[in-house]
Structure 1
Amino acid sequence: MDLSTASLMAAKAYSYKAESLVKEYLLADSYALYTAVLGGILMCKMVYDITYLFSSFYYKSYASLTKLQKLEWNNRGMSTVHAIFITYMSVYLVFFSHLFSDQLDGPVTLRSSNLSNFTLGVSVGYFITDFAMIFWVYPSLGGLEYVLHHILSLVSIVYATYSGEGQLYTYMVLISETTTPGINLRWYLDTAGMKKSKAYLVNGALMVVVWLVARIILFIYLFYDMYLHYDQVMQMQTFSCILVFGVPTVLLIMNTIWFTKILRGLKKTMAKRE
Protein backbone atom coordinates (compact mmCIF):
# COMPACT_ATOMS: atom_id res chain seq x y z
CA MET A 1 0.00 0.00 0.00
CA ASP A 2 1.52 3.29 -1.07
CA LEU A 3 1.53 6.50 0.93
CA SER A 4 -1.23 8.21 -1.10
CA THR A 5 -3.59 5.24 -0.68
CA ALA A 6 -2.94 5.13 3.05
CA SER A 7 -3.56 8.87 3.34
CA LEU A 8 -6.84 8.53 1.42
CA MET A 9 -8.02 5.70 3.68
CA ALA A 10 -7.07 7.71 6.76
CA ALA A 11 -8.98 10.73 5.45
CA LYS A 12 -12.07 8.61 4.79
CA ALA A 13 -11.86 7.09 8.27
CA TYR A 14 -11.57 10.54 9.82
CA SER A 15 -14.52 11.77 7.74
CA TYR A 16 -16.62 8.81 8.87
CA LYS A 17 -15.78 9.44 12.52
CA ALA A 18 -16.59 13.14 12.18
CA GLU A 19 -19.92 12.34 10.51
CA SER A 20 -20.76 9.83 13.25
CA LEU A 21 -19.87 12.42 15.90
CA VAL A 22 -22.23 14.97 14.33
CA LYS A 23 -25.11 12.51 13.97
CA GLU A 24 -24.76 10.67 17.27
CA TYR A 25 -23.70 13.51 19.55
CA LEU A 26 -24.01 17.04 18.18
CA LEU A 27 -27.43 16.37 16.60
CA ALA A 28 -28.67 13.96 19.27
CA ASP A 29 -31.93 15.12 20.88
CA SER A 30 -30.51 15.20 24.41
CA TYR A 31 -27.41 17.23 23.53
CA ALA A 32 -28.18 19.25 20.41
CA LEU A 33 -29.50 22.46 21.97
CA TYR A 34 -26.91 22.75 24.74
CA THR A 35 -24.06 21.91 22.37
CA ALA A 36 -25.34 24.39 19.80
CA VAL A 37 -25.75 27.28 22.27
CA LEU A 38 -22.29 26.67 23.71
CA GLY A 39 -20.90 26.35 20.18
CA GLY A 40 -22.52 29.66 19.21
CA ILE A 41 -20.93 31.41 22.20
CA LEU A 42 -17.52 29.87 21.51
CA MET A 43 -17.83 30.79 17.82
CA CYS A 44 -18.43 34.41 18.81
CA LYS A 45 -15.38 34.42 21.09
CA MET A 46 -13.20 32.83 18.41
CA VAL A 47 -14.30 35.20 15.63
CA TYR A 48 -13.96 38.21 17.96
CA ASP A 49 -10.35 37.25 18.72
CA ILE A 50 -9.53 36.44 15.07
CA THR A 51 -10.95 39.81 13.98
CA TYR A 52 -8.77 41.52 16.58
CA LEU A 53 -5.61 39.67 15.49
CA PHE A 54 -6.27 40.08 11.77
CA SER A 55 -7.06 43.80 12.09
CA SER A 56 -4.00 44.42 14.29
CA PHE A 57 -1.67 42.90 11.67
CA TYR A 58 -3.26 44.03 8.39
CA TYR A 59 -5.00 47.33 9.21
CA LYS A 60 -2.49 49.94 10.32
CA SER A 61 -5.09 52.42 11.57
CA TYR A 62 -6.66 49.84 13.90
CA ALA A 63 -4.26 50.79 16.69
CA SER A 64 -5.44 54.41 16.51
CA LEU A 65 -9.07 53.49 17.14
CA THR A 66 -10.59 54.17 20.53
CA LYS A 67 -11.31 51.31 22.92
CA LEU A 68 -15.01 51.39 22.10
CA GLN A 69 -14.34 51.55 18.37
CA LYS A 70 -12.11 48.49 18.61
CA LEU A 71 -14.79 46.66 20.55
CA GLU A 72 -17.42 47.51 17.95
CA TRP A 73 -15.01 46.66 15.12
CA ASN A 74 -14.50 43.17 16.53
CA ASN A 75 -18.17 42.79 17.42
CA ARG A 76 -19.19 43.49 13.84
CA GLY A 77 -16.81 40.81 12.61
CA MET A 78 -18.61 38.43 14.94
CA SER A 79 -22.06 39.45 13.72
CA THR A 80 -20.98 39.16 10.06
CA VAL A 81 -19.94 35.52 10.48
CA HIS A 82 -23.20 34.70 12.29
CA ALA A 83 -25.21 36.45 9.58
CA ILE A 84 -23.54 34.42 6.82
CA PHE A 85 -24.08 31.16 8.74
CA ILE A 86 -27.72 31.74 9.69
CA THR A 87 -28.67 33.13 6.26
CA TYR A 88 -27.24 30.07 4.50
CA MET A 89 -28.95 27.63 6.88
CA SER A 90 -32.27 29.52 6.82
CA VAL A 91 -32.43 29.66 3.03
CA TYR A 92 -31.56 25.97 2.84
CA LEU A 93 -34.15 24.86 5.42
CA VAL A 94 -36.96 27.06 4.09
CA PHE A 95 -36.53 26.74 0.34
CA PHE A 96 -34.32 23.72 -0.45
CA SER A 97 -34.87 21.08 2.24
CA HIS A 98 -38.08 19.05 2.43
CA LEU A 99 -38.66 19.84 6.09
CA PHE A 100 -41.37 22.44 5.42
CA SER A 101 -42.65 21.02 2.12
CA ASP A 102 -46.42 20.97 1.61
CA GLN A 103 -46.02 17.54 0.05
CA LEU A 104 -45.33 16.01 3.46
CA ASP A 105 -48.07 15.04 5.87
CA GLY A 106 -48.79 17.18 8.91
CA PRO A 107 -48.87 20.93 9.53
CA VAL A 108 -45.77 22.85 8.44
CA THR A 109 -46.09 24.90 11.62
CA LEU A 110 -45.39 21.88 13.84
CA ARG A 111 -42.29 20.59 12.08
CA SER A 112 -38.73 20.60 13.32
CA SER A 113 -35.62 18.45 13.04
CA ASN A 114 -32.36 17.89 14.86
CA LEU A 115 -30.60 20.05 12.28
CA SER A 116 -33.13 22.90 12.55
CA ASN A 117 -32.94 22.83 16.36
CA PHE A 118 -29.14 22.75 16.29
CA THR A 119 -29.02 25.72 13.92
CA LEU A 120 -31.37 27.75 16.10
CA GLY A 121 -29.26 26.87 19.14
CA VAL A 122 -26.15 28.32 17.49
CA SER A 123 -28.09 31.51 16.79
CA VAL A 124 -29.23 31.64 20.42
CA GLY A 125 -25.59 31.48 21.48
CA TYR A 126 -24.78 34.41 19.21
CA PHE A 127 -27.70 36.56 20.39
CA ILE A 128 -26.84 35.88 24.04
CA THR A 129 -23.24 36.95 23.45
CA ASP A 130 -24.16 40.03 21.41
CA PHE A 131 -26.89 41.07 23.86
CA ALA A 132 -24.41 40.79 26.75
CA MET A 133 -21.95 43.04 24.90
CA ILE A 134 -24.69 45.57 24.07
CA PHE A 135 -25.76 45.64 27.72
CA TRP A 136 -22.16 45.91 28.97
CA VAL A 137 -21.33 49.06 26.99
CA TYR A 138 -24.88 50.39 26.50
CA PRO A 139 -25.67 52.40 24.44
CA SER A 140 -22.38 52.36 22.48
CA LEU A 141 -23.25 49.25 20.43
CA GLY A 142 -26.90 50.15 19.95
CA GLY A 143 -29.79 51.87 21.63
CA LEU A 144 -33.24 50.77 22.72
CA GLU A 145 -34.20 49.52 19.25
CA TYR A 146 -31.31 47.02 19.27
CA VAL A 147 -32.26 45.82 22.75
CA LEU A 148 -35.86 45.29 21.60
CA HIS A 149 -34.68 43.51 18.45
CA HIS A 150 -32.47 41.10 20.42
CA ILE A 151 -35.11 40.39 23.07
CA LEU A 152 -37.71 39.56 20.42
CA SER A 153 -35.21 37.41 18.55
CA LEU A 154 -34.11 35.50 21.64
CA VAL A 155 -37.63 34.82 22.90
CA SER A 156 -38.82 33.69 19.48
CA ILE A 157 -35.84 31.45 18.72
CA VAL A 158 -35.69 29.84 22.16
CA TYR A 159 -39.42 29.12 22.22
CA ALA A 160 -39.42 27.79 18.65
CA THR A 161 -36.56 25.47 19.56
CA TYR A 162 -38.12 24.09 22.75
CA SER A 163 -41.69 23.82 21.42
CA GLY A 164 -40.80 22.82 17.85
CA GLU A 165 -43.56 25.15 16.65
CA GLY A 166 -43.40 27.93 14.08
CA GLN A 167 -39.83 27.20 13.00
CA LEU A 168 -40.71 27.85 9.35
CA TYR A 169 -41.55 31.47 10.10
CA THR A 170 -38.66 31.83 12.55
CA TYR A 171 -36.27 30.91 9.76
CA MET A 172 -38.01 33.25 7.31
CA VAL A 173 -37.40 36.10 9.74
CA LEU A 174 -33.77 35.02 10.25
CA ILE A 175 -33.14 35.30 6.49
CA SER A 176 -33.25 39.05 7.09
CA GLU A 177 -29.78 38.68 8.67
CA THR A 178 -28.49 38.71 5.07
CA THR A 179 -28.44 42.51 5.36
CA THR A 180 -25.96 42.46 8.26
CA PRO A 181 -22.69 42.12 6.26
CA GLY A 182 -23.59 45.20 4.19
CA ILE A 183 -24.43 47.20 7.29
CA ASN A 184 -21.15 46.21 8.91
CA LEU A 185 -19.14 46.99 5.78
CA ARG A 186 -20.71 50.46 5.70
CA TRP A 187 -19.56 51.05 9.29
CA TYR A 188 -16.06 49.72 8.53
CA LEU A 189 -15.68 52.01 5.50
CA ASP A 190 -16.93 55.00 7.48
CA THR A 191 -14.60 54.28 10.40
CA ALA A 192 -11.67 53.76 8.01
CA GLY A 193 -12.26 57.23 6.52
CA MET A 194 -13.55 55.87 3.19
CA LYS A 195 -16.97 57.48 3.29
CA LYS A 196 -16.28 59.29 0.02
CA SER A 197 -15.06 56.18 -1.79
CA LYS A 198 -16.87 54.42 -4.62
CA ALA A 199 -17.04 51.27 -2.48
CA TYR A 200 -19.08 53.15 0.13
CA LEU A 201 -21.58 54.33 -2.49
CA VAL A 202 -21.91 50.90 -4.14
CA ASN A 203 -22.36 49.23 -0.77
CA GLY A 204 -25.06 51.75 0.14
CA ALA A 205 -26.97 51.04 -3.08
CA LEU A 206 -26.72 47.28 -2.54
CA MET A 207 -27.91 47.73 1.04
CA VAL A 208 -31.10 49.40 -0.18
CA VAL A 209 -31.84 46.56 -2.61
CA VAL A 210 -31.00 43.73 -0.18
CA TRP A 211 -32.90 45.41 2.66
CA LEU A 212 -35.96 45.87 0.46
CA VAL A 213 -35.94 42.20 -0.55
CA ALA A 214 -34.93 40.57 2.75
CA ARG A 215 -36.63 42.82 5.30
CA ILE A 216 -39.67 44.17 3.47
CA ILE A 217 -40.75 41.92 0.59
CA LEU A 218 -39.80 38.70 2.39
CA PHE A 219 -41.84 39.73 5.43
CA ILE A 220 -44.84 40.42 3.20
CA TYR A 221 -44.36 36.95 1.70
CA LEU A 222 -44.19 35.55 5.26
CA PHE A 223 -47.60 36.99 6.09
CA TYR A 224 -48.96 35.68 2.78
CA ASP A 225 -47.67 32.19 3.62
CA MET A 226 -49.28 32.46 7.05
CA TYR A 227 -52.55 33.31 5.31
CA LEU A 228 -52.24 30.23 3.09
CA HIS A 229 -51.53 28.02 6.13
CA TYR A 230 -53.84 29.83 8.53
CA ASP A 231 -55.57 26.62 9.71
CA GLN A 232 -52.17 25.08 10.45
CA VAL A 233 -50.97 28.22 12.21
CA MET A 234 -53.96 28.07 14.53
CA GLN A 235 -53.05 24.52 15.56
CA MET A 236 -50.06 25.90 17.46
CA GLN A 237 -50.16 26.84 21.12
CA THR A 238 -51.47 30.29 22.00
CA PHE A 239 -48.05 31.74 22.86
CA SER A 240 -46.62 30.41 19.59
CA CYS A 241 -49.41 32.14 17.67
CA ILE A 242 -48.71 35.40 19.51
CA LEU A 243 -45.03 35.18 18.59
CA VAL A 244 -45.69 34.19 14.96
CA PHE A 245 -48.10 37.08 14.41
CA GLY A 246 -46.57 39.65 16.75
CA VAL A 247 -42.80 39.44 16.28
CA PRO A 248 -42.76 39.74 12.46
CA THR A 249 -45.23 42.63 12.70
CA VAL A 250 -43.03 44.58 15.12
CA LEU A 251 -39.90 43.78 13.10
CA LEU A 252 -41.55 44.80 9.83
CA ILE A 253 -42.42 48.19 11.35
CA MET A 254 -38.83 48.59 12.60
CA ASN A 255 -37.42 47.43 9.26
CA THR A 256 -39.56 49.94 7.39
CA ILE A 257 -38.39 52.79 9.64
CA TRP A 258 -34.74 51.76 9.21
CA PHE A 259 -35.26 51.39 5.45
CA THR A 260 -36.43 54.98 5.11
CA LYS A 261 -33.33 56.13 7.04
CA ILE A 262 -31.03 54.06 4.78
CA LEU A 263 -32.76 55.44 1.69
CA ARG A 264 -32.42 59.02 2.92
CA GLY A 265 -28.75 58.42 3.70
CA LEU A 266 -28.11 57.08 0.19
CA LYS A 267 -29.90 60.03 -1.40
CA LYS A 268 -27.87 62.46 0.73
CA THR A 269 -24.61 60.75 -0.24
CA MET A 270 -25.46 60.81 -3.95
CA ALA A 271 -26.53 64.47 -3.75
CA LYS A 272 -23.17 65.44 -2.22
CA ARG A 273 -21.31 63.65 -4.99
CA GLU A 274 -23.34 65.41 -7.68
Structure 2
Amino acid sequence: MATLPAQAFSVKAYQNQAEELIKHYLLAEQSIPYTSVVVGIFFCKMVYDLTELVSSFHFETYAALTKLQRIEWNNRGISTAHAIFITFMALHFVFWSDLFSDHRHDGLVIFNRSPLSDFGLGVSVGYFLADIGIIFWLYPALGGLEYILHHTLSGVAVAYSLFSGEGQLYIYMVLISEVTTPEINLRWYLDTAGMKRSKAYLINGVAIFLAWLVARILLFIYMFYHVYLHYDQVVQMHTFGYLLVFVVPMALAVMNLMWFQKILKGLQKTLAKRQ
Protein backbone atom coordinates (compact mmCIF):
# COMPACT_ATOMS: atom_id res chain seq x y z
CA MET A 1 0.00 0.00 0.00
CA ALA A 2 2.90 2.33 0.65
CA THR A 3 3.79 2.26 -3.02
CA LEU A 4 0.53 3.88 -4.15
CA PRO A 5 1.45 7.44 -3.14
CA ALA A 6 4.80 7.04 -4.87
CA GLN A 7 3.11 5.78 -8.04
CA ALA A 8 0.60 8.63 -7.92
CA PHE A 9 3.46 11.09 -7.49
CA SER A 10 5.28 9.57 -10.47
CA VAL A 11 2.19 9.81 -12.69
CA LYS A 12 1.63 13.42 -11.59
CA ALA A 13 5.24 14.26 -12.35
CA TYR A 14 4.98 12.85 -15.87
CA GLN A 15 1.70 14.73 -16.35
CA ASN A 16 3.33 17.99 -15.29
CA GLN A 17 6.24 17.36 -17.64
CA ALA A 18 3.84 16.69 -20.51
CA GLU A 19 1.90 19.88 -19.76
CA GLU A 20 5.12 21.89 -19.68
CA LEU A 21 6.23 20.35 -22.98
CA ILE A 22 2.93 21.26 -24.65
CA LYS A 23 2.81 24.75 -23.16
CA HIS A 24 6.41 25.82 -23.67
CA TYR A 25 7.28 23.96 -26.86
CA LEU A 26 4.40 22.56 -28.90
CA LEU A 27 2.17 25.61 -28.34
CA ALA A 28 4.94 28.20 -28.21
CA GLU A 29 4.62 30.76 -31.00
CA GLN A 30 8.03 29.93 -32.47
CA SER A 31 7.14 26.22 -32.61
CA ILE A 32 3.63 26.48 -34.09
CA PRO A 33 4.80 26.61 -37.76
CA TYR A 34 6.59 23.27 -37.33
CA THR A 35 4.12 21.46 -35.09
CA SER A 36 1.16 22.55 -37.22
CA VAL A 37 2.72 20.96 -40.31
CA VAL A 38 3.07 17.68 -38.41
CA VAL A 39 -0.53 18.05 -37.21
CA GLY A 40 -1.60 18.52 -40.85
CA ILE A 41 0.12 15.32 -41.96
CA PHE A 42 -1.35 13.29 -39.09
CA PHE A 43 -4.74 14.87 -39.81
CA CYS A 44 -4.55 13.56 -43.38
CA LYS A 45 -3.68 10.05 -42.19
CA MET A 46 -6.52 10.08 -39.66
CA VAL A 47 -9.09 11.25 -42.22
CA TYR A 48 -7.87 8.67 -44.75
CA ASP A 49 -8.34 5.82 -42.27
CA LEU A 50 -11.68 7.19 -41.06
CA THR A 51 -12.97 7.55 -44.63
CA GLU A 52 -11.94 3.96 -45.36
CA LEU A 53 -13.64 2.68 -42.20
CA VAL A 54 -16.91 4.57 -42.66
CA SER A 55 -17.14 3.83 -46.38
CA SER A 56 -16.58 0.11 -45.83
CA PHE A 57 -19.62 -0.11 -43.56
CA HIS A 58 -22.01 2.45 -45.05
CA PHE A 59 -21.43 2.54 -48.83
CA GLU A 60 -22.10 -0.56 -50.92
CA THR A 61 -20.37 1.05 -53.89
CA TYR A 62 -17.08 1.16 -51.99
CA ALA A 63 -16.73 -2.63 -51.79
CA ALA A 64 -17.10 -2.95 -55.57
CA LEU A 65 -14.30 -0.49 -56.34
CA THR A 66 -10.83 -1.47 -57.47
CA LYS A 67 -7.92 -0.93 -55.09
CA LEU A 68 -6.86 2.20 -56.95
CA GLN A 69 -10.40 3.59 -56.89
CA ARG A 70 -10.63 2.99 -53.15
CA ILE A 71 -7.38 4.88 -52.63
CA GLU A 72 -8.73 7.81 -54.63
CA TRP A 73 -12.04 7.61 -52.73
CA ASN A 74 -10.19 7.86 -49.42
CA ASN A 75 -7.84 10.54 -50.70
CA ARG A 76 -10.78 12.68 -51.77
CA GLY A 77 -12.04 12.37 -48.22
CA ILE A 78 -8.80 14.02 -47.10
CA SER A 79 -9.07 16.88 -49.59
CA THR A 80 -12.71 17.46 -48.62
CA ALA A 81 -11.89 17.63 -44.90
CA HIS A 82 -8.95 19.97 -45.55
CA ALA A 83 -11.08 22.16 -47.81
CA ILE A 84 -13.79 22.57 -45.15
CA PHE A 85 -11.21 23.38 -42.46
CA ILE A 86 -9.15 25.87 -44.46
CA THR A 87 -12.18 27.56 -46.05
CA PHE A 88 -13.58 28.45 -42.63
CA MET A 89 -10.14 29.63 -41.50
CA ALA A 90 -9.70 31.75 -44.64
CA LEU A 91 -13.18 33.30 -44.44
CA HIS A 92 -12.54 34.13 -40.80
CA PHE A 93 -9.26 35.94 -41.44
CA VAL A 94 -10.25 37.67 -44.70
CA PHE A 95 -13.75 38.88 -43.83
CA TRP A 96 -14.45 38.51 -40.09
CA SER A 97 -11.21 39.01 -38.18
CA ASP A 98 -9.48 42.37 -37.84
CA LEU A 99 -6.01 40.79 -38.11
CA PHE A 100 -5.59 42.06 -41.67
CA SER A 101 -7.73 45.17 -41.30
CA ASP A 102 -6.42 48.48 -42.62
CA HIS A 103 -7.74 50.12 -39.46
CA ARG A 104 -5.18 48.39 -37.24
CA HIS A 105 -2.21 50.49 -36.18
CA ASP A 106 0.21 47.78 -35.06
CA GLY A 107 2.00 47.24 -38.35
CA LEU A 108 1.55 46.80 -42.08
CA VAL A 109 -1.24 44.51 -43.28
CA ILE A 110 1.17 42.59 -45.48
CA PHE A 111 3.24 41.52 -42.44
CA ASN A 112 0.46 40.78 -39.95
CA ARG A 113 0.19 37.28 -38.52
CA SER A 114 -1.01 35.46 -35.40
CA PRO A 115 -0.52 32.02 -33.80
CA LEU A 116 -3.90 30.95 -35.17
CA SER A 117 -3.15 32.16 -38.71
CA ASP A 118 0.20 30.32 -38.55
CA PHE A 119 -1.53 27.16 -37.35
CA GLY A 120 -4.04 27.23 -40.22
CA LEU A 121 -1.33 27.63 -42.84
CA GLY A 122 0.79 24.91 -41.21
CA VAL A 123 -2.04 22.39 -41.37
CA SER A 124 -2.49 23.32 -45.03
CA VAL A 125 1.24 22.78 -45.73
CA GLY A 126 0.95 19.35 -44.11
CA TYR A 127 -1.98 18.56 -46.38
CA PHE A 128 -0.15 19.64 -49.54
CA LEU A 129 2.89 17.54 -48.58
CA ALA A 130 0.74 14.47 -47.93
CA ASP A 131 -1.36 14.91 -51.06
CA ILE A 132 1.50 15.55 -53.45
CA GLY A 133 3.24 12.53 -51.94
CA ILE A 134 0.37 10.21 -52.80
CA ILE A 135 0.05 11.80 -56.26
CA PHE A 136 3.71 11.02 -56.97
CA TRP A 137 3.34 7.53 -55.50
CA LEU A 138 0.48 6.64 -57.84
CA TYR A 139 1.36 8.96 -60.74
CA PRO A 140 -0.48 9.56 -63.01
CA ALA A 141 -3.55 7.75 -61.65
CA LEU A 142 -4.58 10.52 -59.24
CA GLY A 143 -3.60 13.48 -61.40
CA GLY A 144 -1.25 14.61 -64.12
CA LEU A 145 1.26 17.42 -64.40
CA GLU A 146 -1.39 20.12 -63.85
CA TYR A 147 -2.13 18.74 -60.38
CA ILE A 148 1.58 18.54 -59.52
CA LEU A 149 2.08 22.12 -60.72
CA HIS A 150 -0.96 23.33 -58.77
CA HIS A 151 0.07 21.62 -55.53
CA THR A 152 3.73 22.65 -55.86
CA LEU A 153 2.91 26.31 -56.43
CA SER A 154 0.32 26.33 -53.65
CA GLY A 155 2.50 24.44 -51.19
CA VAL A 156 5.56 26.63 -51.75
CA ALA A 157 3.54 29.84 -51.43
CA VAL A 158 1.77 28.70 -48.26
CA ALA A 159 5.01 27.42 -46.69
CA TYR A 160 6.87 30.65 -47.46
CA SER A 161 4.10 32.76 -45.96
CA LEU A 162 3.96 30.49 -42.91
CA PHE A 163 7.67 30.64 -42.06
CA SER A 164 8.33 34.24 -43.15
CA GLY A 165 5.06 35.78 -41.95
CA GLU A 166 4.74 37.73 -45.20
CA GLY A 167 1.57 38.04 -47.27
CA GLN A 168 -0.63 35.77 -45.17
CA LEU A 169 -3.68 37.84 -46.13
CA TYR A 170 -3.23 37.00 -49.83
CA ILE A 171 -2.55 33.35 -49.09
CA TYR A 172 -5.83 33.11 -47.21
CA MET A 173 -7.63 34.91 -50.05
CA VAL A 174 -6.38 32.28 -52.48
CA LEU A 175 -7.20 29.45 -50.06
CA ILE A 176 -10.87 30.49 -50.05
CA SER A 177 -10.93 28.86 -53.48
CA GLU A 178 -10.80 25.52 -51.65
CA VAL A 179 -14.56 25.97 -51.14
CA THR A 180 -14.96 24.37 -54.58
CA THR A 181 -13.18 21.15 -53.58
CA PRO A 182 -16.08 19.40 -51.76
CA GLU A 183 -18.34 19.93 -54.80
CA ILE A 184 -15.68 18.59 -57.18
CA ASN A 185 -15.17 15.53 -54.98
CA LEU A 186 -18.92 14.96 -54.66
CA ARG A 187 -19.16 14.96 -58.44
CA TRP A 188 -16.54 12.22 -58.59
CA TYR A 189 -18.37 10.21 -55.91
CA LEU A 190 -21.68 10.52 -57.78
CA ASP A 191 -20.04 9.53 -61.05
CA THR A 192 -18.32 6.53 -59.42
CA ALA A 193 -21.63 5.46 -57.87
CA GLY A 194 -23.31 5.52 -61.31
CA MET A 195 -25.49 8.56 -60.57
CA LYS A 196 -24.59 10.78 -63.53
CA ARG A 197 -28.24 11.02 -64.56
CA SER A 198 -29.51 11.85 -61.09
CA LYS A 199 -30.94 15.20 -60.01
CA ALA A 200 -28.17 15.43 -57.41
CA TYR A 201 -25.57 15.29 -60.18
CA LEU A 202 -27.23 18.20 -61.99
CA ILE A 203 -27.51 20.30 -58.81
CA ASN A 204 -23.89 19.54 -58.03
CA GLY A 205 -22.85 20.74 -61.50
CA VAL A 206 -24.64 24.06 -60.99
CA ALA A 207 -23.08 24.42 -57.52
CA ILE A 208 -19.59 23.84 -58.96
CA PHE A 209 -20.18 26.48 -61.64
CA LEU A 210 -21.37 29.12 -59.15
CA ALA A 211 -18.72 28.35 -56.49
CA TRP A 212 -15.96 28.36 -59.10
CA LEU A 213 -17.15 31.66 -60.56
CA VAL A 214 -17.19 33.38 -57.16
CA ALA A 215 -14.18 31.77 -55.41
CA ARG A 216 -11.78 31.17 -58.29
CA ILE A 217 -12.60 33.98 -60.71
CA LEU A 218 -14.20 36.99 -58.98
CA LEU A 219 -12.27 36.59 -55.73
CA PHE A 220 -8.98 36.45 -57.61
CA ILE A 221 -9.91 39.72 -59.33
CA TYR A 222 -10.59 41.23 -55.91
CA MET A 223 -7.23 39.96 -54.65
CA PHE A 224 -5.33 41.57 -57.52
CA TYR A 225 -7.23 44.81 -56.85
CA HIS A 226 -6.25 44.61 -53.16
CA VAL A 227 -2.60 44.11 -54.17
CA TYR A 228 -2.87 47.21 -56.38
CA LEU A 229 -4.25 49.28 -53.49
CA HIS A 230 -1.52 48.05 -51.11
CA TYR A 231 1.35 47.95 -53.57
CA ASP A 232 3.38 50.30 -51.36
CA GLN A 233 3.38 47.54 -48.74
CA VAL A 234 3.88 44.67 -51.18
CA VAL A 235 7.15 46.16 -52.47
CA GLN A 236 8.54 45.97 -48.93
CA MET A 237 8.42 42.17 -49.02
CA HIS A 238 11.51 40.10 -49.74
CA THR A 239 12.07 39.48 -53.44
CA PHE A 240 10.91 35.85 -53.27
CA GLY A 241 7.72 36.80 -51.43
CA TYR A 242 7.10 39.69 -53.82
CA LEU A 243 7.34 37.34 -56.79
CA LEU A 244 5.05 34.79 -55.13
CA VAL A 245 2.34 37.42 -54.65
CA PHE A 246 2.20 37.87 -58.41
CA VAL A 247 3.45 34.64 -59.99
CA VAL A 248 1.49 32.06 -57.98
CA PRO A 249 -1.95 33.77 -58.10
CA MET A 250 -1.52 34.55 -61.81
CA ALA A 251 -0.54 30.96 -62.61
CA LEU A 252 -3.46 29.63 -60.55
CA ALA A 253 -5.79 32.15 -62.18
CA VAL A 254 -4.83 30.89 -65.63
CA MET A 255 -5.45 27.27 -64.58
CA ASN A 256 -8.74 28.31 -62.95
CA LEU A 257 -9.90 29.90 -66.20
CA MET A 258 -8.96 26.78 -68.19
CA TRP A 259 -10.82 24.52 -65.75
CA PHE A 260 -13.76 26.94 -65.66
CA GLN A 261 -14.12 26.60 -69.42
CA LYS A 262 -14.28 22.82 -69.03
CA ILE A 263 -16.82 23.15 -66.21
CA LEU A 264 -19.00 25.40 -68.34
CA LYS A 265 -18.89 22.99 -71.28
CA GLY A 266 -19.69 20.05 -69.01
CA LEU A 267 -22.66 21.87 -67.49
CA GLN A 268 -23.95 22.79 -70.95
CA LYS A 269 -23.78 19.13 -72.04
CA THR A 270 -25.59 17.97 -68.89
CA LEU A 271 -28.35 20.53 -69.35
CA ALA A 272 -28.67 19.67 -73.06
CA LYS A 273 -29.20 15.99 -72.28
CA ARG A 274 -32.10 16.86 -69.97
CA GLN A 275 -34.01 18.91 -72.52
TM over 0.5: yes
Structure 1 spans left out of the alignment, 5+ residues = 1-19
- Distance apart, 1:23 and its partner CA: 6.9
Distance 1:267 1:103 in 2: 45
Equivalent residue letter for 2:81 = V
Paired residues in the alignment total 256
Percent of aligned positions that are identical: 64
Which residue is 1:240 aligned to?
A: 241
Q: CA deviation at 1:94?
A: 1.2
1:97 aligns with 2:97: yes
CA distance in 2: counterparts of 1:173 and 1:30, whole angstroms = 25
Superposed CA offset, 1:118-175 (max 9, x none)? 1110001110000000000001111110000010011101111111101110110000
Cα distance in 2 between the residues matched to 1:188 and 1:44:
19
In the TM superposition, residue 31 of structure 1 has moved relative to its aligned partner by 1.9
SS in 2 for 1:195: coil
* RMSD value, Cα: 1.5
Measure the CA separation in 2 of the matches of 1:104 and 1:24: 29
Question: What's 2:5 paired with?
Answer: none
**In the alignment, does 2:46 pair up with 1:43?**
no
Q: 1:249 to 1:207 in 2, by over 3 A?
A: same
Q: 1:9 — aligned with what?
A: none
Name the structure 2 match of 1:34. 34
**Residue 185 of structure 2 corresponds to residue 184 of structure 1:** yes
Q: Distance in 1 between matches of 2:182 and 2:148?
A: 19
**Per the alignment, in what secondary structure is the counterpart of residue 218 of structure 2?**
helix
* Counterpart secondary structure, 2:98: coil
Structure 1 distance, partners of 2:93, 2:211, is 20
Q: Structure 2 vs 1, CA of residues 137 and 116 (structure 1 numbering), >3 Å: closer, same or farther?
A: same
Q: Structure 1 residue 61: deviation in Å?
A: 2.0
Structure 1 pair 108–22 and aligned structure 2 pair: CA distance change class (3 A): farther
Q: Kindly indicate whether residue 274 of structure 2 is the aligned counterpart of residue 267 of structure 1.
A: no
CA separation in 1, counterparts of 2:182 and 2:96? 23
Q: Who wins on radius of gyration, i.e. which is larger?
A: 2
Which aligned segments of 4 or more residues in structure 1 are displaced greater than 3 angstroms?
20-27
Counterparts of 1:103-142 in structure 2, within 5 Å, are: 103-105=103-105, 106-142=107-143
> 1:11 maps to which residue?
none
Gaps of 5+ in 2: 1-19
> For residues 268 and 130 of structure 1, what CA distance do their matches in structure 2 show?
31
1:32–1:117 contact (8 Å) kept in structure 2: yes
Give me the whole-angstrom Cα distance separating, in 2, the residues matched to 1:217 and 1:103. 24
Q: Which residue of 2 aligns with 1:83?
A: 83
Mapping for residues 217-236 of structure 1, pairs under 5 Å: 217-236=218-237
Q: Give per-residue Cα distances to partners, 1:47-72, cap 9 Å, x unaligned.
A: 10111111110111211101110000
| 3-state SS in 2 of match to 1:89 | helix
Query: One-letter code of the match for 2:34?
Result: Y
**Cα separation, 2, equivalents of 1:22 and 1:104:** 31
Q: Look up the match of 2:17.
A: none
- Aligned partner of 1:118: which letter? F
Write out per-residue CA displacement over residues 104-131 of structure 1, whole angstroms, 9 at most, x where no aligned residue.
1222111111111111100011100000
Q: Taking structure 1 as the reference length, what is the TM-score of the superposition? A: 0.90
